[in-house]
Structure 1
């Protein structure tokens, strides 16, 4: 099998300066040589344990240097990383692993002991940390069942990614080597060359590796030969330490993290090095975006992406933000990365500027011959090509004939000064069909009653948009990407009224 340009690029970067620091993890550095050595060992094991052209390897991914090395090792082998989230709940994760029938599974001892049952068709590899070598715990004695794949022979699947599953059962999406290369290296004709020296300055990676944002962020750093600080999860104090230590010019924060930083005691001096914040994965309200800029003097560039697209398809650039933000505040920016966007009716009629409908996308990552992909997002495009996401069509609540968009209600709730976050879902109603209900998480030290927040909403929403129940909770259940887990939110509400 011919080595894919992405794999070759990664291998070249890992060899540039083996003694230099690659990953800062809680103040301890892993060198490029240690990262490359473990990645090479994993690559060799994967190739031996599953000698297929594109060996499938499940990884119980966590945000640690050894998991980064394991991920890179499978790519060096030309294999497929099957992402397994060990934090989804033990029973669900065990069921997921059993259904996947993986030839090889990699993880730490604690995760393997708890989540992986013995199987004659699965080899199990234990990560011992860095620089320790991985250990083969058990070696398969039978060949696993052949799994169907839609991969193209010219571009095998690099990552079998599990979507967040905020509204229903998570589904798996195949990301090909070509898709990843397009996103992190650019188009073939203008693809970036392998660096000859390491980049100066370190980035910060706080997105989870089980989410597409974390994988792209890691790969962006690796292909640019840029060291990075890796956070096990987003922790305000650890993030602030990394910012003070490495003085990055740009950082990426999901909306929940934006709000944590916004309502913290951090000052402009603490974030003095940062010139821009990028944000995606979930909607960020205009109020939060502008409050962040007012407090820290840093613009937030929002973007629009999905796992199915293989990355971003729209976003703000800094020049666009400086020129257009005042007139187009709330937009997620313009088409990017060669993507095409359009808004249509349910029957496929293309709508004109500023008309609301279903968003369809031709992602640049899928090449010029890609088909239009219809999303479940309601949106509109203006005459200048700026996109507004108005909410999820499949989450719209029809209350007595009136359409309620949960994101609109959530934005209004989160504009209350005591609120740290909110989630809005529909509840069946015998008379009205469905009504909006909400759970609310307060900021540390803040006080507010449900009545206080409902009064606040009275001046900001139509009467039919105001939730019929608003429950204040200690913590809103969220997915690793920071989105509210709507199924868990419904369970939370149901448990509170039993």
Structure 2
């Protein structure tokens, strides 16, 4: 892959990098056409381009030698335009989640020492305390961004290596989210493929996609960029809402949709029919495990195959997944797998010494994502996995979440899958709590389906012939809603706090 020309430290020449060039070219195809439908109204490609250009100019004026731009990201058209504007400037987007709780977000921004922070007036007034930062207020694409505080950037350190496009937040499933540096090259490989495949569309796509993943999560970033570089208009939802999503499906009739496992289960257990989803030919699902039983039930109800995948922020995208051809040929024999390695990616399972254990043996997964380029090092994960002789990957749980109960190893993912197969259970989260006699014991937080009932005794009885005795949780707490991260995974940090304190502590914001 050709290296982009470098200008100032941390800043790429956006005129030469193929990702920024593709974004710019697509925005100019048909400026008057609709690009993003939000809350029933369309924002045009020209409006997105105009606002992105204003952000690009502001970054150039106020970014200095370290153009790291913090964006308080929410799912709105003006946030998308702001995000694209930073990429067009060659700067680095630093993803900030304004929904983690005010005190935590203030501390995050304080520690980042960014030259520029951009957000809505409400978010900025609540969350930005430092006056040594240039603050830019955004409202909508029809209103010019306003520099409300201008500060010198000379004292702000450059925290990003050259060529970084996004300092992306991880999902924060087991602890505080951390930031992973994703380069322009990694993003380009993920959404454009190789340079030989890189051809800018000459016309806009006739289909309309649906994006419901949050921009503050890697899934939302990739879905957004995939639509932009493909010149595909899309419906942007603030978050996954069953009724809004179903209305968009009926109106725009997409052939493919992407749903996190929690959303798959919501659709599966809804009153929606095959007629409601008649246009959809395939559902892709990632970010968290989806049981084979749920995938099969979805296909049985709607006649739509569910293609699961395996990805991580650290990889800069996906490394494995099902294709439709593989699903037709292998699903019955390989159900529960997350598919085979993506083109150019490599995977292996190793033991504690780092030696490859071979087919069908359990160990720790290591990957070489294609988006890291040829010659990349193996990336170690904490996922327990096995790979069969045909190259299909099974994720069996996380080694760092295993619960050792009286010498027996309990994998929370196994318990979760068994419990979520109960007809009354909408979702659950399994963690280990200290136990004076056994060392640790599994406990379960359970969310029931609307209108359903189940007692802890009912759940114990249900699990008695599905799990070993030592795997059955010692406590079941039934709650109205499990706290979740922006990607839809159970927020295990909040779950731990609940079991330790008896209540949720999310800083007053939705989790």
- Give the unaligned 5+ runs of structure 1: none
* 1:361 counterpart SS class: strand
Q: What residue is the counterpart of 1:123 in the other structure? A: 134
Cα distance in 2 for partners of 1:28, 1:130 equals 13
2:422 is aligned with 1:410: no
1:371–1:398 CA distance, 2 compared to 1 (3 A)? same
In the TM superposition, what is the alpha-carbon distance from 1:50 to its structure 2 partner?
1.2
Q: What residue is the counterpart of 2:29 in the other structure? A: 16
Instruction: Select which of 167, 185, 191 maps to 2:192.
Output: 185
Q: What residue is the counterpart of 2:325 in the other structure? A: 319
Cα distance in 2 for partners of 1:211, 1:230 equals 14
Write out per-residue CA displacement over residues 187-246 of structure 1, whole angstroms, 9 at most, x where no aligned residue. 12x232111100011000000000000000000000000000000011000000110111
Cα distance in 2 for partners of 1:288, 1:225 equals 33
* 2:347 counterpart SS class: strand
In the TM superposition, what is the alpha-carbon distance from 1:35 to its structure 2 partner?
0.7
The within-5 A match list for 1:282-301 is 282-301=288-307
Cα distance in 1 for partners of 2:43, 2:158 equals 36
* 1:467 counterpart SS class: coil
Q: What residue is the counterpart of 1:437 in the other structure? A: 443
The within-5 A match list for 1:291-370 is 291-370=297-376
2:479 is aligned with 1:473: yes
The within-5 A match list for 1:443-482 is 443-482=449-488
Question: How many residues end up aligned between the 2 structures?
Answer: 491
Cα distance in 1 for partners of 2:230, 2:258 equals 17
* 2:502 counterpart SS class: helix
Cα distance in 2 for partners of 1:163, 1:372 equals 20
- Give the unaligned 5+ runs of structure 2: 1-6, 8-12, 505-511
Matched-pair contact (CA < 8 Å) for 2:64–2:154: no
Matched-pair contact (CA < 8 Å) for 2:191–2:225: yes
The within-5 A match list for 1:91-170 is 91-120=103-132, 122-141=133-152, 143-151=154-162, 156-170=163-177
Q: TM-score, normalised by structure 2?
A: 0.95
Cα distance in 2 for partners of 1:73, 1:392 equals 37
1:482–1:22 CA distance, 2 compared to 1 (3 A)? same
Write out per-residue CA displacement over residues 26-71 of structure 1, whole angstroms, 9 at most, x where no aligned residue. 211000011111111111111111133x611000000000000000
In the TM superposition, what is the alpha-carbon distance from 1:162 to its structure 2 partner?
1.2
In the TM superposition, what is the alpha-carbon distance from 1:168 to its structure 2 partner?
1.9
In the TM superposition, what is the alpha-carbon distance from 1:497 to its structure 2 partner?
9.1
Cα distance in 2 for partners of 1:462, 1:13 equals 56
1:142–1:26 CA distance, 2 compared to 1 (3 A)? closer
In the TM superposition, what is the alpha-carbon distance from 1:146 to its structure 2 partner?
1.2
Instruction: Select which of 25, 40, 43 maps to 2:38.
Output: 25
2:212 is aligned with 1:206: yes
In the TM superposition, what is the alpha-carbon distance from 1:496 to its structure 2 partner?
3.2
Matched-pair contact (CA < 8 Å) for 1:128–1:135: no
Write out per-residue CA displacement over residues 447-491 of structure 1, whole angstroms, 9 at most, x where no aligned residue. 111111111111110001000001101110100000101010011
* 1:370 counterpart SS class: coil
Ranked by relative contact order (alpha carbons within 8 Å, sequence separation 6 or more), the top structure is: 2
2:73 is aligned with 1:66: no
